[in-house]
Structure 1
Amino acid sequence: MADVTVSEVRAELAALEDPKLRAVNERHGDDHGVNLGKLRALAKRLKTQHDLACRLWESGDTAARLLATLICRPKAFGRDELDGMMRQASTPKVHDWLVNYVAKKNPHSEELRLAWLADPDPVVASAGWALTTERVARSPGGLDLSELLDVVEREMKGAPDRLQWAMNHCLAQIGITHAEHRARAIAIGERLEVLKDYPTPPGCTSPFAPVWITEMVRRQATGK
């Protein structure tokens, strides 16, 4: 599907728009009505087209930006370019996909992680915490996990929702993957009670850190 235009792609996205799905998504802050499975199928047909991805991003349309994160070359973005994109990612799903599908794979991810962690914008800071959680799980060398727990203990309770969610994920990941910090991570979660009463569907694991940590450790031990 080479040489496709932005207009053609946006027309296809518009044809996939479902008003009922949009209404559901808008309750979560995402202003689009495109089924994500169908959007991924479109991305698979388009394959990697970085220039097209950049033009789709520039359109400002949420569905187009989601598609852009799937067909771009994550390593092709410069540090300042990706920083600017993060500050434009105003909806939760675009923000999430930009972090997970682009920022995590970018050669400037560590530099951006540190910069975003210290950013006064809580949404940008949440991206820094998401990248930190990735490092906690995959490459913790050089991280001061005790200091991270100090920050979580001090700041998570009063953090805005998206930043709080990202900090809570980091807290849980430390407890799950680092046994020497597990007891403290659980104790912090129990004391702060962040997301303790979060509605969790049957069969899903609660995001409340003590429950999350305990369940994931159990699964690792039993293989179930």
Structure 2
Amino acid sequence: MAELAALEDPKIREVNERHGDDHGVNLGKLRAIAKRLKTQQELARELWKTGDTAARLLALLICRPKGFERDELDIMLREARKPKVQDWLVNYVVKKNAHAEELRLIWFRDPDPVVASAGWALTTENVGKKPESLDLEELLDLIEKEMKTAPDRLQWAMNACLANIGIEHAGHRARAVAIGERLEVLKDYPTAPGCTSPFAPIWIAEMVRRQPA
């Protein structure tokens, strides 16, 4: 904890706080610590218990993803309120855990929009890798009905799902684009030069353009 505190940089914290995170640690330096520590499941659990964002990010880098039980991951996800912590927990740990599909189904329609956003992130993973586990038409119905008024983080996750349906599944592409155009979610989101807009119709068109013929 002292080592993490010594890495605190006010400028990094200022940038992170604009995105809802509350740490000022350079992630490259954090990864260097994780590389030195290697996998340490019990230390990861102790770091998580501190509630400190930088410590939790380090925990997610040194843990053994398959070493968590379903209920343990459910509790961790509900505790993970900061965007970066939730993102790493879902992508680095839950997706590699045997209980990922069970958790997806639990979280997907959770009344807490932050928890639900994790369910949508796992659903987006299935859009590309396990579409047979999903009813894509039903997903599009849900997105069309709820995305426009969803809270920010949930809206972002639903939008990513919409875009990936359009990118990965040509048979649903026209409808995905039409939904994006009608709802206009993230249409005016500021996008840096050289980056792809998160506005679904633009995102879909660009990623389809990059696909091999």
TM beyond 0.5: yes
For 1:57-115, what per-residue CA distance to the aligned partner results, in whole angstroms no more than 9, with x for missing partners? 00000000001111101111111110000000011110111111011111111010001
More deviation, 198-207/74-83: 74-83
1:187 partner SS: helix
The residue aligned with 2:130 is: 139
Question: Cα distance, 1:45 vs. partner?
Answer: 1.1
Q: Percent identity?
A: 78
Amino acid in structure 2 at the alignment position of 1:116: W
Q: Does 1:56 align with 2:47?
A: yes
Distance 1:177 1:34 in 2: 36
| 2:23 is the counterpart of 1:32 | yes
Moved over 2 A (4+): none
Residue number among 154, 160, 178 corresponding to 2:169 in the alignment: 178
Q: Report which stretch shifted further, 24-33 or 122-131.
A: 24-33
Q: Which residue of 1 aligns with 2:107?
A: 116
- The residue number in structure 2 matching 1:89 is 80
Amino acid aligned to 1:186: V
Aligned-pair distance for 1:16? Answer: 0.9
Q: Does 1:155 align with 2:143?
A: no
Matched, 1:99 2:80: no
Counterpart check, 1:199 vs 2:193? no
Q: Is 1:19 paired with 2:10? A: yes
Number of positions where the alignment pairs a residue of Structure 1 with one of Structure 2: 213
**Partner Cα distance (1:46, 1:138) in 2:** 32
SS at match of 2:141: helix
RMSD: 0.8
Q: Could you tell me which residue of structure 1 aligns to residue 202 of structure 2?
A: 211
Q: What is the one-letter code of the residue matched to 1:104?
A: K
Distance 2:146 2:21 in 1: 27
Displacement of 1:221 after TM fit? 3.2
Structure 2: how far apart are the matches of 1:182 and 1:118?
24
The residue aligned with 1:167 is 158
Match of 1:5?
none
Q: Gapped runs of 5+ residues in structure 1?
A: 1-9
CA distance in structure 2 between the partners assigned to 1:74 and 1:160 by the alignment: 29
For residue 105 of structure 1, what is the amino acid of its counterpart? K
Q: Residue 187 of structure 2: SS of its match in structure 1?
A: coil
- Partner SS for 1:156: helix
Indicate if the aligned counterparts of 2:57 and 2:85 stay in contact, CA closer than 8 A. Answer: yes
**How much has 1:138 moved relative to structure 2?**
1.0
- Paired AA for residue 73 in structure 1: R
**2:78 alignment partner AA:** R
- C-alpha deviation, 1:149, in angstroms: 0.4
> What secondary structure is seen at the aligned counterpart in 1 of 2:133?
coil
| 1:79 is aligned to 2:79 | no
1:67 aligns with 2:58: yes
Gaps of 5+ in 2: none
TM-score normalised by structure 1 residue count: 0.94
With the length of structure 2 as denominator, give the TM-score of the two structures.
Answer: 0.98
**How far apart are residue 142 of structure 1 and its match?**
2.5
Distance 1:45 1:187 in 2: 49
Q: Secondary structure at the match of 2:144?
A: helix
